Amino acid sequence: MLMSPLSPERTTTMNRFSSAVPDNEYLADSNVLFYLSDAVSQLLEHKEEYTHFGVIRYFAEYFSSVKNSNHVLFREYSYIMATPHNRASFIRVFWRCYRQIGKSGELLSMLEYRSLLQLLCPDFPLEPVQNAARIVLMDDAIDCLMSFSDFLFAFQLQFYYKEFLDGVLVIYQDLLAGKSPNTVIVPTSTSIEQLPPVAAEESDREQQQDGVEPSTLTQCVDAFCDRLKHSHPPRSCMREVLEQTNRISYYSFLMSLAKHEAINQAIGALPNKAEFLIDPEMDQELDKLIAQISVSPGSNSSGSAVGGLKEMLQRKASPRRNIHHRRRIEVESDGSTEETDSSEN
């Protein structure tokens, strides 16, 4: 099942077998027509390749990959951004491929994270990566190093709720300029899509300010959510964040949202933070090596086990290399496009 851009706060999906759901509403909610159109386009573009194993099998595998969230790998940026399901799928693929970076505690720069994203989506732009870095680093320069978990949760918020965050920035700038809630121009979905990118210097100046009244921002954000056709974070989560402070800046607001577990659950792409770095395969291999050491106390056996441990760690967490000059990156063995098993959820 796919999430709908027309139902921003829906956390459950429509049941296609329910007689209470009209056909047209289900098709719109699940974006079936969008995926069907893309499937046909891909088939026509590569018909010589796909017709070898049959058109029926092709469509079955295409929609199976959509259901399993494997369909976004190596696709163009416009396709990845086209539906909420695509966005959530890409976030999950990014986590699965590179979570070993978080396991090793390695810190990367904004440009290095962009390079990793471009390995999965060749035309991935710089702007969303910059915006995610600003959420993490707040007042610091955006070329500082970031942990994988900090970057990923900020990136998830920025990437999944892009249109909402763009609109909130417009509202925040108006409030910062001294406008009253009655004179703040609440953006619409159409006007948000027409906004030019915010310059880095302007954003940096904004975050240096003391912030705005949370109650005023809440009022304006509520009105914005009423008019927004795209997804937005649950209002209860935003109110909870805004009620905890007397003044709030744009980036401190976003950082609090990025860390909010209920928002992470609403998106549904990543596990909870307690399980974020769990690696069942690594744990199993370590258990085997520890057991081998326990039952073989002799120096030769122990040395062999320790040697195996070192070899495994080197394979799992390779030394840091310049990402910009390497064509391939080592990822953990489960960084494929197969579904994550239940132990990862």
Tens of pLDDT, residues 274-310: 888 775 765 566 567 667 666 555 544 444 444 454 4
Q: Which of 2-6, 27-31, 85-89, 141-145 has the highest mean pLDDT?
A: 85-89
Q: What is the pLDDT of residue 16?
A: 56
Q: What is the pLDDT of residue 24?
A: 74
Lowest mean pLDDT among 25-39, 87-101, 195-209, 291-305: 195-209
Q: What is the pLDDT of residue 229?
A: 83
Q: Are 203 and 130 in contact (CB under 8 A)?
A: no
Instruction: Report residue 29 as tokens.
Output: 């909610």
Spell out the residues 6+ positions from residue 271 whose beta carbon is closer than 8 angstroms to its own: 278, 344, 345
In this structure, what is the dihedral angle of CA atoms 34, 155, 240, 344, given to the nearest 10 degrees?
A: 80
Q: What is the pLDDT of residue 313?
A: 42
Q: Are 86 and 72 in contact (CB under 8 A)?
A: yes
Lowest mean pLDDT among 25-34, 84-93, 152-161: 25-34
The percentage of residues in the chain with a pLDDT greater than 70, rounded to a whole number, is 66
Q: What is the pLDDT of residue 183?
A: 66
CA 336 to chain centre: 17
Is the pLDDT assigned to residue 338 strictly greater than 70? Answer: no
Is the pLDDT assigned to residue 202 strictly greater than 90? Answer: no
Q: What is the pLDDT of residue 184?
A: 67
Q: What is the pLDDT of residue 227?
A: 87
Is the pLDDT assigned to residue 207 strictly greater than 50? Answer: no
Q: CA 132, CA 155: separation in Å to the nearest integer?
A: 5
Tell me, yes or no, if the pTM score tops 0.75.
Answer: no
Over residues 232-237, mean pLDDT: 95
Q: Cβ-count burial of 182 within 10 angstroms (0-12 exposed, 13-18 middle, 19+ buried)?
A: exposed
Within 13 Å of residue 258, how many CA atoms lie on the same side as its CB?
A: 27
Q: pLDDT: is 249 or 207 the higher one?
A: 249
Q: What is the pLDDT of residue 283?
A: 56
Is the pLDDT assigned to residue 90 strictly greater than 80? Answer: yes
Is the pLDDT assigned to residue 159 strictly greater than 50? Answer: yes
Q: pLDDT: is 14 or 33 the higher one?
A: 33
Is the pLDDT assigned to residue 156 strictly greater than 90? Answer: yes
Tens of pLDDT, residues 49-75: 777 878 889 999 999 999 999 999 999
Ramachandran angles phi, psi of 292, nearest 5°: -65, -40
